[in-house]
Chain A
Amino acid sequence: MELNAKIPAGPMETKWEKHQFNVKLVNPANRRKYKVIVVGSGLAGGSAAATLGQLGYDVSCFCYQDSARRAHSIAAQGGINAAKNYQNDNDSVFRLFHDTIKGGDFRSREANVYRLAQVSAAVIDQCVALGVPFAREYGGCLANRSFGGAQVSRTFYARGQTGQQLLLGAYSALSVQVALGQVKMYPRHEMLELVVTDGHARGIVVRNMVTGEITSHAADAVVLGTGGYSNAYCLSTNAKGCNATAIWRAHRKGALFANPCFTQIHPTCIPAAGEHQSKLTLMSESLRNDGRIWVPKQAGDRRNAWDIPESDRDYYLERKYPSYGNLAPRDISSRAAKQVCDEGRGVGPGGRGVYLDFAEAIGRLGESVIRERYGNLFEMYEQITGENSYKQPMRIYPAMHYVMGGLWVDYNLMSNIDGLYVIGEANFSDHGANRLGASALMQGLADGYFILPCTIGDYLARVSPSDRLKTDHAAFRQAEQDVKDRTSRLLSADGTRTVDSFHRELGALLWNNCGMERNEKGLREAMAKIPLLREEFWRNVKVPGSAADFNQSLEKAGRVADFMELAELIVYDALDRDESCGAHFREEHQTADGEAARDDARFSFVSAWEFKGIGQRPALHKEPLVFEYLQLTQRSYK
Chain B
Amino acid sequence: MKLTLKIWRQDGPSQKGGLAAYPMDDVSPDMSFLEVMDMLNEQLIARGERPIAFDHDCREGICGSCGFMISGEAHGPVKLTTTCQLFMRHFRDGDTIIAEPFRSRAFPIIKDLVVDRSALDKIVQAGGFISARTGSAPDANAMLIPKDKADRAMDAAACIGCGACVAVCPNGSAMLFTAAKIGHLGLLPQGQPERRQRALRMVNKMDELGFGACSNHGECEAVCPKGISIDFIACMNRDYMRASATETMEPVKRV
Contacts and interface: CB of A to CB of B under 8 A. Distances in A.
Interface of A: 47, 50-51, 54, 65-70, 72, 74-75, 84, 86, 122, 124-131, 133-142, 158-159, 161, 163-165, 168, 171-173, 175-176, 178-180, 185, 187, 210, 239-241, 273-274, 276-279, 281-282, 379-380, 383-384, 386, 449-450, 453, 498, 500-501, 542, 544-545, 549-550, 552-553
19 contacts: A54-B133, A67-B161, A69-B124, A72-B58, A74-B58, A128-B143, A130-B130, A135-B154, A168-B157, A173-B132, A178-B121, A179-B126, A180-B254, A240-B58, A276-B28, A276-B30, A383-B61, A386-B89, A500-B38
A278 B161 contact: no
A278 B63 contact: no
A176 B255 CA distance: 8
B34 interface: yes
Interface of B is mostly: loop
Given A66-B116, A125-B139, A277-B35, A550 B132 contact: no
B130 A383 contact: no
A65 B130 contact: no
B63 A74 contact: yes
A129 B32 contact: no
Nearest to B161: A69
B6 interface: no
Contacts of B77: none
Given A65-B65, A281-B60, 18 more contacts: A67-B117, A70-B64, A72-B57, A72-B63, A86-B141, A126-B135, A129-B136, A133-B150, A135-B150, A136-B145, A161-B158, A173-B134, A176-B129, A240-B57, A276-B39, A498-B42, A500-B38, A550-B114
Interface of B: 12, 28, 30-32, 34-35, 38-39, 42, 45-46, 48-51, 53, 55-65, 80-81, 85, 87, 89, 110-111, 114, 116-118, 120-121, 124-126, 128-141, 143-147, 150-151, 153-154, 157-158, 160-161, 184-185, 188, 190-191, 252, 254-255
Contact of B252 (A124, A136, A180): A180
A180 to B, nearest CB: 6
Nearest to A75: B58
B235 to A, nearest CB: 16
A50 B254 CA distance: 12
Nearest to A52: B134
Contact of A274 (B28, B137, B160, B184): B28
B129 A553 contact: no
B129 A140 contact: no
Contacts of B128: 172, 175
Nearest to B65: A70
B120 A67 contact: yes
A135 B254 CA distance: 30
Contacts, number: 222
Contacts of B134: 47, 50-51, 54, 126, 173, 449-450, 453
Nearest to A67: B121
A171 B129 CA distance: 9
A239 B30 contact: no
A240 B185 contact: no
A386 to B, nearest CB: 6
A130 B132 contact: yes
B115 to A, nearest CB: 9
A32 to B, nearest CB: 12
A394 to B, nearest CB: 16
Contacts of B140: 84, 124-125, 127-128, 134, 142
A129 B130 contact: yes
A134 B141 CA distance: 11
A158 B158 CA distance: 10
Contacts of B146: 136, 140
B64 A498 contact: no
A129 B158 contact: no
A131 B191 contact: yes
B255 A125 contact: no
Contacts of A498: 42, 45-46
B102 to A, nearest CB: 12
A86 B184 CA distance: 25
Contact of A130 (B87, B129, B138): B129
A544 B228 CA distance: 40
A66 B66 CA distance: 11
B147 A140 contact: yes
A383 B87 contact: yes
Contacts of B151: 133, 136
A383 B65 contact: no
B204 to A, nearest CB: 13
B255 to A, nearest CB: 6
A440 B15 CA distance: 44
A128 B42 CA distance: 45
Contacts of A542: 45-46
B252 A140 contact: no
